[in-house]
Amino acid sequence: MIAFIRPAAPLNRYIQNVPLNYIHLAAWLRTQGHDSIVLDGVFDEVTPHYIDRVIREKEITTVGLGCMTCEFPQAIAEAARLKREHPGLKIVFGGAHPSGDPEGCLRSGVVDFVVVGEGEIPLTRLLGALRDGRNPQDIQGVWLMRDGAVIPGGSAEIPVVDDLPRPAYDLLDLERYFRLDSPWHFPKSQRAVQFITERGCPYQCSYCHEIHTKKFRGISAEIVLDQMEWLVREYNVGEFMIVDDIFNFDLERAKTICRGIVDRGLRIHLQFPNGVRGDRFDEELVDLMKRAGTHYMAVAIETVSQKYQKLVRKNLKIPLARRTIDWARKYGIEVSGFFMIGFPGETREEIRATLDFAVEAPLDSIFVSIVAPFRGTRLRTDMLTGAFGQLNADGVNALDQLFPQVHNAALPAGLLLGLQRRAYWRFYSKPRSLMTLVSRMTNVRNIRKIARALARRIRESRTVSVN
C-alpha cells in the first residue's frame, strides 16, 4: 500500500481543494492491484502524529508526495521527518516541481525516487518492483540515485486518457471538502469539485510546466459526461471547477460536452479558473458554455507586447482574446484576466501597456503575476542561454536561494512589486470593481475569501506566482 500525503502548510489557507493528482493515481493503481490511502494535511487532525500512527498501523512501506514549487519546502521537510521516524520507508516525489528538478529532489538526501511527468504507469512499475524486490533502475520515468550519482529515468510513458479509470473519489470524504472554502472563484454551489476533461497542451508557452506533454489529449465527451453525471448522482455535486490545461483547444469537443450537459438535464454550475486560451473561441461556444452552467472563466493573456508574446512562445492573438472577453460579458459570464510582468529586458513602458489593458478591459477581476523562471521550464533555459538578448544566470539562480525572491535584469524587484500593487489599486478602486466585490459579500466564507485575496494581492503579492 502507498500513502499519498499532502503536508500541512501555510499555503493550505488558499489550496483547500480535492487532491485530484492523488485520486487519479490511486484509481489507476487500484486497477493494477495496488491499494492507496490519502492523508490530506488540509484537515486539522492530519498531524504528523496522526500520519505516523497510520503508517505504522497499516504497515505502509511507500509514501508519495506531489508538490508545486511553492509547496516544495513543506514536502521536503515532511520527507525528512518521515525518514527520521520510519527508517526504511521509501519516499517518492512527483508533480510540477519534482518533474522540473528531479536531480535537486534526489540530492536532498530524503527522496528515494522521483516520477517525472504523468505518474500512472511509472509509479505502478515502481511499486511492483519494490514489492517483488526487483531493481527499479530501468523504469522509464523514474529517477533515482546510486552511489551518489543520479540515474536519469527519462520521461514517463503516458496512458491513453480514455483508458483512465474514474478518479477514486471514494478514498475521500467529499462532504468534508464541500465544507472547505473553495480555492478558486466564488462557487455558485458549495458542493463543488475540481475536475479535468483533458491532459496536455500543444502550445509552447515557455513559463509553463510540461508534465502532461505538449500534446492535447482530450478525454472523449461521452466519458466526461458519464463521470459528471455519476458525481451528480452519487455525491450531489452542484459545481465543476474545470482545471484543464486547455479545455477549448478542440472547439467541437468542447461544444459537445456543453450540449451534453444540457441534453442530460444536469443542473450544474461550471467555472474555468485555470484559464482558457482566449483566441480559440467562437461565439457559439461561449453561448453553449453559458447554457451548460458556466458562470466564470479566466482568460490567460499574460502580456500585450507582441515581442514578448513571441519570446515566451505563447503567440496569443490579443484582439481575438479581447473579443472573447466581450462575448463572455455579453452572455453573462464573469471573466478574469491573467497577466505577467517582469520578463527579462521588459521595459517599464511595456509593462504599463499590459497593466493599462488589464485595468481598462471589461474584466471582472485580474491576477497579475511577477515572472519567475521555475526549474524545468523553457523560460528558465531561455534566460540562462540568452534567448532574451542577455545572459541572466545570476537572476535565475537567485530564485533557488530564497523562493519566491524576484529578480529581473532590467527592473528591480521593488519596482515590479510597486507596479503590480498599483495595477490592483487602479482596477479594484473602479466603481464597477468595487460594486462587484461588495455584491460578493453575502456570507462569511465569501468575506474571508475576499480578505485573503486582498492580502495576497496587496500585502503578500510577491507570493502570487505559485508554480
- Please report the pLDDT score of residue 403 as a whole number: 35
Residue 78's Cα: distance from chain center in Å?
21
Q: Write the pLDDT tens digit of every residue in 131-169.
A: 999 999 999 999 999 999 999 998 788 999 999 999 999
Choose among 305, 365, 358, 310: nearest CA to 334. 365
Best-predicted range by mean pLDDT among 5-9, 36-40, 181-185?
A: 36-40
**12: pLDDT strictly greater than 80:** no
Same domain membership, residue 89 and residue 30: yes
Task: Check residues 180 and 315 and name the one with the higher pLDDT.
Answer: 315
Comparing 210-214, 317-321, 358-362, which segment has the lowest mean pLDDT? 210-214
Distance, in Å, from the CA atom of 116 to the CA atom of 101, rounded to the nearest integer, reads: 9
Task: Check residues 414 and 355 and name the one with the higher pLDDT.
Answer: 355
Distance, in Å, from the CA atom of 191 to the CA atom of 200, rounded to the nearest integer, reads: 27
Same domain membership, residue 61 and residue 7: yes
Listed residues 151, 182, 204: the one ending a domain: 151
Strand partners, 149: 146
Distance, in Å, from the CA atom of 293 to the CA atom of 297, rounded to the nearest integer, reads: 11
Distance, in Å, from the CA atom of 142 to the CA atom of 120, rounded to the nearest integer, reads: 11
Q: Write the pLDDT tens digit of every residue in 78-128.
A: 999 999 999 999 999 999 999 999 999 999 999 999 999 999 999 999 999
Q: Is residue 165 part of a domain?
A: no
Average pLDDT, integer, range 448-464 = 60
Distance, in Å, from the CA atom of 171 to the CA atom of 181, rounded to the nearest integer, reads: 20
Distance, in Å, from the CA atom of 412 to the CA atom of 399, rounded to the nearest integer, reads: 14
CATH number where 9 lies:
3.40.50.280
Confidence of residue 390 (pLDDT cuts 50, 70, 90): low
Same domain membership, residue 439 and residue 346: yes
DSSP 189-245: SSSEEEE-SEE------TTS--TT-SS-EEPPHHHHHHHHHHHHHHH---EEEE--S
Q: Is residue 353 part of a domain?
A: yes
Q: Is residue 158 part of a domain?
A: no
Q: Write the pLDDT tens digit of every residue in 239-249.
A: 999 999 999 99
Same domain membership, residue 355 and residue 453: yes
Q: Is residue 83 part of a domain?
A: yes
Average pLDDT, integer, range 388-397 = 53
- Please report the pLDDT score of residue 394 as a whole number: 52
Q: Is residue 11 part of a domain?
A: yes
- Please report the pLDDT score of residue 411 as a whole number: 72
- Please report the pLDDT score of residue 209 as a whole number: 86
- Please report the pLDDT score of residue 292 as a whole number: 98
Listed residues 94, 117, 151: the one ending a domain: 151
Per cent of the chain over pLDDT 70 is: 88
Print burial letters for 273-300: b (CB count within 10 Å at least 16), e (below 16).
bbbbbbbbbeeebbbbbbebbbbbbbbb
Q: What is the dihedral of CA 78, 448, 179, 94, to 10 degrees?
A: -30
Same domain membership, residue 412 and residue 313: yes
Q: Is residue 161 part of a domain?
A: no
DSSP 326-386: HHHHHTT-EEEEEEEE--TT--HHHHHHHHHHHHHSS-SEEEEEE----TTSHHHHHHHHT
CATH number where 317 lies:
3.80.30.20
Same domain membership, residue 86 and residue 203: no
**329: pLDDT strictly greater than 50:** yes
Same domain membership, residue 214 and residue 132: no
Distances (CA, A) of 119 to 79, 150, 203, 291: 19, 19, 22, 35
Same domain membership, residue 130 and residue 35: yes
- Please report the pLDDT score of residue 11 as a whole number: 58
Q: Write the pLDDT tens digit of every residue in 403-441.
A: 343 444 467 778 888 999 999 999 988 888 888 777 777
- Please report the pLDDT score of residue 180 as a whole number: 87
Among all chains, which residue has been given the C-alpha cell 458554455?
A: 289
Q: Is residue 351 part of a domain?
A: yes
Distance, in Å, from the CA atom of 244 to the CA atom of 273, rounded to the nearest integer, reads: 9
The CB density around residue 399, as the number of other CB atoms within 10 Å, is: 18
Please list, in sequence order, all residues whose beta carbon lies within 8 angstroms of the beta carbon of residue 441, skipping any fewer than 6 positions away.
Answer: 447, 450
Distance, in Å, from the CA atom of 420 to the CA atom of 460, rounded to the nearest integer, reads: 11
Same domain membership, residue 296 and residue 206: yes
The x, y and z cell numbers of residue 276, run together, are 482558457
Same domain membership, residue 255 and residue 299: yes
- Please report the pLDDT score of residue 400 as a whole number: 45
Same domain membership, residue 138 and residue 189: no
Give how many domains the chain has, as a whole number: 2
Distance, in Å, from the CA atom of 246 to the CA atom of 239, rounded to the nearest integer, reads: 19
Please list, in sequence order, all residues whose beta carbon lies within 8 angstroms of the beta carbon of residue 381, skipping any fewer than 6 positions away.
Answer: 387
Classify strands 142-146 and 113-115 as parallel, antiparallel or unpaired: antiparallel
Distances (CA, A) of 83 to 42, 73, 98, 111: 22, 15, 18, 9
Average pLDDT, integer, range 180-207 = 89
Helix (H, G, I), strand (E, B), or coil: what is residue 413?
A: helix
Same domain membership, residue 101 and residue 24: yes
The parent domain of residue 387 ranges over 173-463
Sign of CA dihedral 331, 217, 14, 374: negative
Phi, psi of 447 (to 5 degrees): -65, -45
Print burial letters for 317-343: b (CB count within 10 Å at least 16), e (below 16).
ebeebbbbbebbbeeebbbbbbbbbbb
